[in-house]
């Protein structure tokens, strides 16, 4: 594969990292029960009181290289919109979760597949290209943390579409070698995941939504900055009941747990002034979730596009803007692999919409060394399982992502 293709795939790696969160047009009463093939109808949502649309210019319809830009008011149709969107340059499906075995085993895992198009469909020279000449690439990241041993396993795989990799445009059906993520039951939104980490570990999981699908963003659009193309559609199942089998060192372990799943569709991400982001998906024991991202500017301050959103027990989301929450490290972990200094643990302060009172959470890594080195992209990042503490007591679980601490991601994500 040409070196230029590997550099282009840096976008894939970085972007699959990206779950810079977003708010959410209020979902239907239960999108997970939406009949297959029907549009997702969303009731009108009042914008958050502290939002400021004037901060962001009107979205462009296309990027300079001809890819579509997500537009507000899109009516999602499932299962089609769970699948691939080739008219957009960047897309990823991202799963993280906490799994538990029968003998006090606890695991954290990540499985992400990222798609990047080289050319928009409208510029395809020959629509009948052979399957070995596609201008579309896929990158898979898998990681597993064994909390009993402290061992952190991870791997990356890269493939061109048609060469051991494919993504359906009709439904969720992603394949790369023996990695697959498939919507096995469109009516109930049941999903199966099969993945492995080299010859060290495999997992086969069945996932079923406990809560409805959430659409993040103002009128369905998640803004990532003041660029007219820095936006995405962001779909999330914030809590999926999970059962399956994990095979580790030739030992099969039955596991259960809960998983967070994002699907994000975009054609551009970071602006020229941004260098990286911090993100967390938090599952609280009281049945609520928090999705938060802080987009970092060159001077270290948060971009106004940063946001925090609470998802209530019924799956409705409430956005809080960058000025209403804070994200700070309470310490530093320096990677022995990349030399990057990550601000860990994380102190997150916000306002609880249920009480109107300030609340503080500490996100503490289960193991500090959960850095992925970025074999293909040369862009290391930290993606790790954490416990959530409030007043020193455990109140939930989280996954945290820290990017741009070993060089700016700006070039890769524009």
Tokens encoding 203: 């997992």
CATH of region 3-402: 2.40.370.10
Which residue in this structure is represented by tokens 């909390």?
147
Within 13 Å, how many C-alpha atoms sit on residue 362's CB side?
12
CA dihedral of residues 157, 161, 163, 167 (deg, nearest 10):
80
Distance separating alpha carbons of residues 277 and 280, to the nearest angstrom: 10
Q: Which distant-in-sequence residues (6+ apart) come within 8 Å of 169 by Cβ?
A: 80, 83, 84, 85, 86
Q: Which distant-in-sequence residues (6+ apart) come within 8 Å of 128 by Cβ?
A: none
Give the pLDDT confidence score for residue 366 in this predicted structure: 98
Give the pLDDT confidence score for residue 408 in this predicted structure: 55
pLDDT tens for each residue of 299-337: 999 999 999 999 999 999 999 989 999 999 999 999 999
Residues β-bridged to residue 257 = 99, 242
Give the pLDDT confidence score for residue 413 in this predicted structure: 47
Q: Which distant-in-sequence residues (6+ apart) come within 8 Å of 145 by Cβ?
A: 107, 108, 109, 151, 152, 153, 366, 367, 370, 384, 385
Give the pLDDT confidence score for residue 44 in this predicted structure: 31
Q: Which distant-in-sequence residues (6+ apart) come within 8 Å of 56 by Cβ?
A: 223, 225, 226, 305
Q: Is 56 exposed, middle or buried (0-12, 13-18, 19+ CB in 10 A)?
A: buried
Neighbours of 337 (CB within 10 A): 11
Q: In the chain, which residues have pLDDT < 70?
A: 1-54, 124-134, 377, 407-414
Query: C-alpha distances in angstroms, 83 versus 39, 78, 131, 175?
Result: 14, 9, 19, 12
Give the pLDDT confidence score for residue 162 in this predicted structure: 84
pLDDT tens for each residue of 157-211: 999 988 789 999 999 999 999 999 999 999 999 999 999 999 999 999 999 999 9
Beta strands in 71-189 (DSSP E): 77-78, 90-100, 106-117, 136-146, 151-160, 165-167, 173-176, 179-185
Which residue in this structure is represented by tokens 């994380």?
346
Residue 315, Ramachandran bin (φ over 0: left; ψ between -120 and 50: alpha; else beta)? left
| CA dihedral sign, ordered 390, 235, 89, 186 | positive
Query: C-alpha distances in angstroms, 59 versus 122, 128, 268?
Result: 20, 32, 12
Distance separating alpha carbons of residues 412 and 414, to the nearest angstrom: 6
Sequence length of the chain is: 414
Degrees (nearest 5) of the Cα angle 311, 290, 18?
115
Selection from 279, 292, 18 nearest residue 139 by Cα: 18
């Amino acid at each position: 594969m040409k070196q230029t293709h590997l550099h282009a795939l840096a976008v894939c790696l970085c972007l699959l990292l990206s779950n810079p969160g977003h708010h959410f047009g209020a979902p239907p009463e239960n999108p997970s029960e939406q009949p297959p093939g029907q549009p997702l109808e969303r009731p009108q949502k009042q914008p958050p009181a502290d939002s400021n649309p004037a901060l962001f210019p009107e979205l462009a319809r296309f990027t300079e290289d001809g890819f579509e830009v997500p537009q507000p008011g899109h009516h999602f149709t499932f299962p089609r919109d769970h699948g691939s969107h080739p008219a957009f340059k960047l897309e990823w499906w991202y799963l993280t979760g906490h799994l538990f075995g029968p003998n006090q085993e606890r695991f954290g895992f990540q499985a992400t597949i990222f798609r990047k198009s080289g050319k928009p469909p409208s510029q395809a020279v020959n629509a009948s290209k052979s399957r070995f000449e596609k201008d579309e690439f896929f990158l898979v990241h898998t990681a597993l943390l064994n909390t009993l041993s402290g061992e952190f396993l991870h791997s990356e795989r890269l493939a061109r579409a048609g060469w051991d990799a494919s993504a359906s445009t009709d439904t969720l059906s992603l394949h790369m070698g023996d990695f697959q993520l498939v919507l096995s039951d469109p009516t109930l939104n049941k999903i199966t995941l099969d993945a492995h980490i080299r010859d060290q570990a495999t997992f086969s999981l069945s996932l079923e939504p406990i809560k409805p699908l959430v659409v993040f963003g103002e009128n369905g659009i998640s803004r990532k900055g003041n660029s007219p193309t820095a936006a995405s559609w962001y779909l999330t199942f914030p809590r999926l009941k999970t059962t399956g089998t994990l095979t580790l060192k030739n030992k099969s372990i039955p596991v259960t747990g809960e998983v967070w799943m994002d699907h994000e569709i975009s054609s551009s991400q970071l602006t020229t002034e941004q260098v990286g982001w911090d993100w967390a998906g938090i599952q609280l024991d009281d049945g609520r979730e928090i999705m938060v991202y802080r987009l970092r500017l060159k001077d270290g301050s948060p971009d106004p596009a940063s946001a925090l959103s609470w998802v209530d027990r019924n799956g409705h989301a409430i956005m809080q803007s960058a000025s209403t929450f804070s994200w700070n490290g309470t310490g530093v972990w320096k990677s022995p692999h990349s030399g990057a200094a990550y601000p860990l643990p994380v102190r997150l302060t916000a306002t609880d919409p249920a009480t109107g009172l300030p609340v503080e959470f500490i996100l503490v890594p289960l193991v500090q060394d959960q850095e992925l080195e970025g074999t293909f992209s040369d862009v290391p990042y930290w993606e790790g399982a954490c416990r959530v503490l409030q007043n020193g007591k455990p109140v939930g679980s989280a996954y945290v992502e820290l990017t741009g601490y070993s060089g700016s991601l700006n070039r890769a994500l524009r």
